[in-house]
């Protein structure tokens, strides 16, 4: 319902300028509502909370949420969707979402009409900041096959405002399809805004360069789904002549809705009116500047609530205030998923962000991927770029030795290009060994 989207949008636009204390009060009110709803309406949560001896009435402060159990991907995956769905929900009017399963554990959730509208309104709030207006064109590059976002669990659900905008003003392209056709579409449509992963923006930029294409200048590029390092930001910004803004989200709790960069780029604002995002170490909140793991609660989804869901992402919070004046807390950086950290033989844990920072700036590398096959073996695959020469590999090995040490086997492979896999995000750093969860 467009009227409801507009109403939510007006609320959200107002919320972003609230003082921190008011935001916390609003967040706590929403948290109590969603926890009570889950306990009263969802069989899974009723059992889970009874088993742990907790009830909604013990929530007196935001900190009290840590008394409630954590949801792992394995737990959510193994509970039937109907057991996680609230009583009274008309499933035929819901949208079914399924995660990509890039970590091997796909998760299904249902989005009812109100939560679709709320998420639509949030996206409008964010994109408005970049100068976007609903009548302007957007192109979104996604890993998901066509039809993945089918409407409703039974195929008969209301599309939502953003779906209708997608049909009229938003084109959705699949990254595994032909990149040259994507460029032709972009040049033909001339969108104001393009949404894609950092790695695919690199593919587009390289193809533009190889074909001598210039003049593709959307106003804004929005990145999602992967860690955005500063080298990639600079490269794609200069290639397209566009502003680049990063975003952070997860399908399970809030697609593209956890945190976002405003025009100041001082960090990523946590959407306190959309989610409760906990950053913890050993079960306790971390201090600003300290690395911690993310646990998220959706404050708007009621069909299949997601409360204290362990994402496995590692982030660092900032203690600085954003010059924009918003008092929503900032994430200083996102280091990636815990499963993408590399474990060294001496016990050190190397974040994917550290790996990417070490490699960026080495001339001749168009794209790369680090895969840890065992505790003492890492394979690096390199896509040769324009300035590639024998010294490129020498510099790469030197950077790796400095970062990892010399107590493991490092194999470097060269390729002309990486294949794009439908339905799977490209992960520049990936571990295939068992990691703690």
Q: Which one-letter DSSP state was computed for residue 373?
A: E
- Per 3-state DSSP, the chain is made up of helix, strand and coil in percentages (nearest 5) of 35, 25, 40
How confident is the model at residue 72, as a pLDDT?
A: 92
Range with lowest mean pLDDT among 101-110, 143-152, 184-193:
143-152
Does CATH place domain 2-335 in 3.40.50.12780?
Answer: yes
Token pair, residue 253, equals 């709790």
Token pair, residue 346, equals 């001496």
pLDDT (tens digit per residue) in 389-421: 889 999 999 999 999 988 889 999 998 888 766
pTM of the model: 0.81
Residues 236/203, Cβ–Cβ less than 8 Å: no
How confident is the model at residue 200, as a pLDDT?
A: 85
**Range list for CATH 3.40.50.12780 in the chain:** 2-335
How confident is the model at residue 57, as a pLDDT?
A: 97
pLDDT (tens digit per residue) in 64-122: 999 999 999 889 989 999 999 999 999 999 999 887 655 556 789 999 999 999 999 99
Residues 6 or more apart from 156 whose CB is under 8 A from it? 92, 93
Token pair, residue 146, equals 């066509």
pLDDT (tens digit per residue) in 199-240: 888 888 888 988 888 878 899 999 988 888 888 899 899 999
**Range list for CATH 3.30.300.30 in the chain:** 341-431
Which architecture does CATH list for 341-431?
Answer: 2-Layer Sandwich (3.30)
In this prediction, residues 45-66 reach a mean pLDDT of 97
Alpha carbon distance 115, 120 (integer Å): 8
Within 63-107, strands assigned E span 95-98
């Amino acid at each position: 319902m467009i009227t409801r989207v507009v109403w939510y949008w007006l609320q959200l636009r107002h919320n972003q300028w609230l003082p921190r204390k008011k935001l916390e009060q609003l967040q706590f009110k929403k948290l109590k509502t969603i926890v009570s709803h889950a306990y009263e309406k969802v069989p899974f949560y009723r059992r889970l909370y009874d088993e742990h001896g907790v009830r909604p009435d013990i929530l007196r402060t935001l900190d009290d949420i840590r008394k409630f159990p954590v949801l792992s991907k394995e737990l959510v995956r193994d509970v039937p969707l109907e057991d996680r769905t609230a009583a009274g929900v008309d499933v035929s009017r819901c949208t079914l979402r399924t995660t990509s399963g890039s970590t091997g554990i796909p998760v299904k959730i249902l989005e009812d009409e109100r939560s679709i509208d709320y998420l639509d309104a949030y996206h409008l709030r964010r994109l408005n900041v970049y100068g976007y207006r609903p009548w302007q064109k957007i192109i979104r590059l996604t890993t998901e096959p066509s039809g993945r976002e089918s409407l409703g669990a039974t195929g008969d659900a209301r599309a939502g405002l953003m779906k209708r905008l997608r049909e009229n003003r938003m084109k959705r392209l699949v990254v595994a399809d032909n990149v040259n056709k994507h460029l032709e579409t972009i040049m033909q449509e001339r969108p104001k805004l393009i949404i894609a992963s950092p790695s695919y923006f690199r593919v587009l930029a390289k193809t533009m360069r190889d074909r001598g294409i210039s003049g593709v200048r959307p106003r804004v590029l929005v990145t999602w789904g992967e860690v955005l390092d500063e080298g990639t930001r600079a490269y794609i910004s200069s290639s397209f002549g566009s502003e680049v803004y990063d975003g952070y989200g997860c399908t399970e709790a809030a697609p593209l809705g956890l945190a976002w960069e405003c025009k100041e780029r001082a960090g990523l604002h946590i959407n306190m009116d959309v989610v409760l995002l906990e950053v913890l170490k050993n079960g306790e909140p971390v201090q600003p500047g300290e690395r911690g793991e993310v646990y998220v609660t959706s404050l708007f989804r009621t069909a299949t609530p997601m409360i204290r869901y362990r994402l496995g992402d590692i982030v660092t919070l900032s203690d600085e205030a954003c010059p924009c004046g918003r008092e929503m807390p900032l994430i200083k950086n996102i280091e990636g998923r815990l499963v993408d950290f590399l474990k060294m033989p001496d016990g050190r844990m190397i974040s994917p962000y550290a790996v990417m920072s070490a490699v960026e700036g080495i001339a001749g590398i168009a794209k790369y991927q680090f895969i840890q096959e065992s505790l003492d073996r890492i394979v690096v695959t390199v896509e040769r770029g324009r300035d590639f020469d024998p010294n490129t590999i020498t510099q790469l090995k030197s950077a790796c030795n400095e970062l990892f040490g010399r107590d493991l086997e490092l194999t470097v492979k060269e390729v002309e290009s990486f294949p794009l896999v439908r339905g799977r995000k490209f992960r520049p750093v990936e571990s295939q060994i068992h990691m703690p969860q």
